[in-house]
Structure 1
Amino acid sequence: MPLVDPFFSFLRKLHGSESIRIMDTCHGLLLLDRGGYDFDSIPSYVVCNPATKQWLAVPDFGWTPSPCNGMSVHLIFCPAMSSHFYLLQFTDDLFTSVTSVQIFSSKTGAWTHSESAWSLEEKQAPCERWRYESYSLEPERKRAVVNGMLYLICDSLGEGPPVLDGDHIIAVDVEGKTRKFIPVPFRMCKEQCSILSDFVGQSQGLVHYVNHEEPEYYTNNDGPSERSASEYNDDDDVEYELFIWILPEGDTQELVLKHTVSFLHLFGEKSCKAGIDYNVVAIHPDRDVIIFKWNDKLISYDMDTGEVCALHTVSDSFGFASYVPYFSELPALSNKY
């Protein structure tokens, strides 16, 4: 098959395609925003398949979005289950702090809004409580789509122990309804450390979740907290680790530890700060290989062999999205260049 055109030249006749931003990918389809990097504009979405040069301009919402603290959108496409795709857009209302979800279905060609389409019982279901409490979705930590369900990291904004109160994984169906609310696991085996989420993705048909330990004095992006790092000299000999967990098949809400690796083995440092020193950017869809951005390099780690390889030099401004071509044409993508 021919290589995929990385410049999206098949979209050049589409109005606004001169400034596009990749928002999400899923099983060979890409979600683009024609608003580019103008974050104040109302999104104008396009779903396309670069391998077949098909695309669909998603219609506007049909309503004016309320002022919001944040908005994230995710693409769900599972070709083994359906030839249709769905967009789930989460909006955190500025005044009520309620997280609502808007859904676009390629089957109906229209958007629906959770607050108007759901019954009272559905809105008040136990799994939906995160939408009305102090929780925030973390789209920059990626997401997984497995068996038609969208898995996202959900972080608590309240006070309290950051692990016990904080991170959960939510599983959302194509109607935007939360089906699972999974507390993330942790291994609090060292004092004076916090456990933070790094990544959720899918590999070999299973949800994979990555978290890690950090010293307590890693409190922000600017430097140590009021407690000086010198107070933690006893930690100099501690080797902090990454933990890789999987969600087994079936109706389970408990993640199982799959693998552990030290920062020293990965990067040659005993402790590293997520988002500053490194980022988990991808997991191989068919192998036990994780991809990191470390300083100005992409690095792979093979869980089976323990091998660490430098793959490529990249700019600090690079963003990453995993993409595997899908070569079948889809009736849902009605336009073709």
Structure 2
Amino acid sequence: MERALMSDPMSMLTDDILVDIISRVPYKSTCCCKCVSTRWRDFLSHPDHRKKLPQPLAGFFYQGYNRDRFPKIARYFTNASGEGDPLVDPSLSFLPRYSSLEILDCCNGLLLCRCWKPTDPKTLDYVVCNPATEKWVVVPATEWSNKVSVARLGFEPAVSSHFHVFEFIDEKAWVTDESELNEWTGSLEAVATYSSKSGVWTNPIAVTTIVSIPTHSKGVFFNSIMHLAAFDDMVATFDVQGNLQSIIDTPDLPYDSPVNDVFVSRGQLYFTGITRSEFGPSMSVWVLEDYDFGEWTLKHTVSHFALFGTNYSACNYKVISFHPEHDMIFVVYGEENTLMSYDMDCKKRHIICQLGHDCQLEDISDEEKTPFLPYGPLYTESLADGT
């Protein structure tokens, strides 16, 4: 017995301890763990243990906007494979009945929703829910919530079962007397945060640096820091108390374009933009190699012709996500809003499906633009128990 333990110290660990360890590694590594032994394969496949393990990217929440329809905004979910029935019912019918509901953010299997109450069109709740388990909790609104354009969710299940909600209070929401707004620029005035552990909002933290965040800037939460792309070619980062931690300049690009989102994959921050090449305009992919000094390294370049074919010059497109564990990008492009993936390793694209004309990408107001929210299921039963 002693010899067996010395040759295989992992055999001393119980299944519960082992699955807790493996739940903290990336999904790709979890798949490799199944090849270690028959025991590992069996316990990782057991339904009770599988609930605790990281899940792959399953698909995307998005919305369509049609002026000639009621309601004008419709919500959808499409699988990342483009095949089969949607994994999630985008109506979120398990939630309490509200007059309207908007999905603001998705973070590691949880959704942040803004829900307007039927009793008063100016009052609302935030609701954080888990579509995989149909569990939800109400987060009370603040005095700024009905005016705030940008609210985001922070959640890292490998670190804590508790989540954080961030309210980014811009100048328009902050000032009570609109006559004081001589020239509104939309600059950020303060940040308030809510912790499910404390159950209360912090007092808003003033932002003294000029920062302006677009309505649909994608929130990236990792290492307990929220990252948001901002105007003027920069990324603003905030801690869970709402303090502005740093401003990271994004790479200088030769083309003027709308604010590009940042993404996280395998624990690193990525940025995409349009650059020039011998083949014409290209999409470039940058990775933040030195976080402290804000140094980006060019990781990959692909021409628009290789991505979109002969009509690339007239093609509107938007990068909507990076795969969390692979060098793969998801893009929506063209008149039919075609969803495709592009593998940077093998340099191949794959057409997934067409999302239709209702999706709006460019040249319209912020409230009509389509946010795309990547989603992977989380099978943990509770939203905020434990530490």
- How far residue 260 of structure 1 moved from its aligned partner, in angstroms, is 1.0
User: Which of 200, 203, 207 lines up with 1:110 in the alignment?
Assistant: 200
Name the amino acid aligned to 1:24: D
Q: Contact 1:146/1:206 (CA < 8 Å) preserved in 2?
A: no
User: Which of 99, 109, 122 lines up with 1:28 in the alignment?
Assistant: 109
Distance change (3 Å), C-alpha of 1:252 and 1:20 = same
Q: Contact 1:24/1:75 (CA < 8 Å) preserved in 2?
A: yes
- For 1:278 and 1:331, the matched residues in 2 are separated by 35
* TM-score (normalised: structure 1): 0.72
Number of residue pairs aligned between Structure 1 and Structure 2: 274
Name the amino acid aligned to 2:380: S
Distance change (3 Å), C-alpha of 1:136 and 1:269 = farther
Pair 1:208-2:270 in alignment = yes
- For 1:174 and 1:265, the matched residues in 2 are separated by 41
Q: In percent, how many aligned pairs have the same letter?
A: 32
Q: Which runs of 5+ in 2 are unaligned?
A: 1-46, 52-86, 173-179, 182-186, 360-369
Aligned to 2:366: none
- For 2:242 and 2:344, the matched residues in 1 are separated by 34
Aligned to 2:320: 281
- How far residue 333 of structure 1 moved from its aligned partner, in angstroms, is 7.4
Larger Rg: 2
Q: How does 1:237-248 map to 2 (within 5 A)?
A: 239-248=280-289
Pair 1:57-2:150 in alignment = no
User: Which of 138, 141, 145 lines up with 2:214 in the alignment?
Assistant: 138
- 1:18-63 deviations in Å (ceiling 9; x for gaps): 6322110000100112129xxx8444210001112210011121xx
Q: How does 1:1-337 map to 2 (within 5 A)?
A: 4-11=88-95, 14-16=96-98, 19-35=100-116, 41-61=122-142, 64-65=143-144, 71-94=149-172, 95=180, 97-115=187-205, 123=206, 128-130=207-209, 133=210, 135-155=211-231, 166-188=232-254, 193-194=255-256, 197-213=259-275, 239-248=280-289, 251-268=292-309, 272=313, 277-295=316-334, 296=336, 297-318=338-359, 319=370, 320-330=372-382, 332=384
- For 2:279 and 2:341, the matched residues in 1 are separated by 24
Q: Contact 2:153/2:164 (CA < 8 Å) preserved in 1?
A: yes
- For 1:308 and 1:66, the matched residues in 2 are separated by 41
Distance change (3 Å), C-alpha of 1:66 and 1:149 = closer
Q: Which runs of 5+ in 1 are unaligned?
A: 116-122, 156-165, 215-234
- For 1:286 and 1:67, the matched residues in 2 are separated by 36
Name the amino acid aligned to 2:225: M
Name the amino acid aligned to 2:318: N
Q: Contact 1:27/1:78 (CA < 8 Å) preserved in 2?
A: yes
- For 2:164 and 2:323, the matched residues in 1 are separated by 23
- For 1:145 and 1:178, the matched residues in 2 are separated by 14
Distance change (3 Å), C-alpha of 1:272 and 1:102 = farther
* TM-score (normalised: structure 2): 0.63
Secondary structure at the counterpart of residue 248 of structure 1: strand
Distance change (3 Å), C-alpha of 1:98 and 1:282 = closer
Q: Contact 2:109/2:130 (CA < 8 Å) preserved in 1?
A: yes
Secondary structure at the counterpart of residue 280 of structure 1: strand
- 1:199-221 deviations in Å (ceiling 9; x for gaps): 2111112111111149xxxxxxx
Secondary structure at the counterpart of residue 267 of structure 1: helix
Distance change (3 Å), C-alpha of 1:259 and 1:104 = same
- How far residue 4 of structure 1 moved from its aligned partner, in angstroms, is 4.3
- For 1:9 and 1:15, the matched residues in 2 are separated by 8
- 1:258-311 deviations in Å (ceiling 9; x for gaps): 1111111111258657xx711111111111111111122111111111111110
- For 2:108 and 2:290, the matched residues in 1 are separated by 19
Moved more, 47-56 or 240-249: 240-249
Aligned to 1:217: none
